[in-house]
Amino acid sequence: MPSDLTTLHPFDQATGIRAEGDHLTGATSDLYWAFVGPFGGATAATMLRAVLDHGERRGEPLALTVNYCAPIQRGGFAVDVRLVRANRSSQHWAIELTQAGEGVVATATAVFAERRPSWSHQAAAMPQVRPAAEVPALPNDKSSSWLRQYEFRFASGDPRFGATLNEQPASARSEVWLSDSPPRPVDALSLAAMADAFFGRIFHVRGGLVPFGTVSMTTYFHVDAADLAAEAITGLLGVADAHVFHKSYADQTAELWSPSGRLLATSQQIAYFKA
């Protein structure tokens, strides 16, 4: 990362880290602030960047699991990265994010792999939706600052929040065109963040805002840097859904598609809610 982070895109500023002695350090960004802490996708991207920038890193991101242990407070933090195991084709990493006085606030594991040419087949098909240009964007006067860092164009399942919660559950599924605002080329870091750039499924199902927070999220990357460079995109189609809401916890599934119909990443998470 350049030493002058202020010259970078706001996303790269928010997820930027510096080497200080044996530790990596960073700081939260008010631009990517959510209800009680940083947008979880920015935290995931920060922890992935710590490995991407590591001198011993080999290969491309294959899987990233982030566990959100406690609310991250405004201000600085340290990131510790450890190579747990490596072989000829893959590396396994452990990452911890800590804050003074708080201890460990997030942990992560990442798998990197050498992606070699092979037989390929994509069984999944991209949903048939209107092109992004034909879908109106949500107004930019969004309540939470991190939402203003993205452009949302809902092809289906747009948020419809009322003064009271729904008596009958609505659909948990959304199909939404996503892009950074201002635009930024899609790379592994933005995939890690966009995997979490969906409104809580409980908000859609109940039709209103309730206490909510991601506990653990795993993202699988199905493309490498060369694949993304060939796509040359600044936006993608995100599809989010859920299977079950039970005893204060719910799942969320996500798919991230290029406009050409390529499945870039898939994600699963478990989240807390109070409703």
Tell me the DSSP string of 98-159: EETTTEEEEEEEEEEE------------------GGGSPPPPS--SSGGGGGEEEEEEE---
Mean pLDDT, residues 227-252 taken together: 98
User: For 50-103, what is each residue's pLDDT tens digit?
Assistant: 999 999 999 999 999 999 999 999 999 999 999 999 999 999 999 999 999 999
Mean pLDDT, residues 2-7 taken together: 58
* Number of helices followed by number of strands (H, E) in the chain: 5, 13
Q: Are 169 and 191 in contact (CB under 8 A)?
A: no
**Average pLDDT score, the chain:** 95
Buried/exposed 78-88: b ≥16 CB within 10 Å, e otherwise? bbebeeeeeee
Using a cut of 0.85, tell me whether the model's pTM lies above it.
yes
Q: Residue 143 pLDDT more than 90? A: no
Q: Residue 6 pLDDT more than 70? A: no
CA distance 216 to 208: 23
CA distance 253 to 42: 18
Q: Residue 272 pLDDT more than 90? A: yes
Residue 70 in tokens? 């406690």
Mean pLDDT, residues 240-251 taken together: 98
Say how many Å lie between the first and final Cα of the chain, rounded. 42
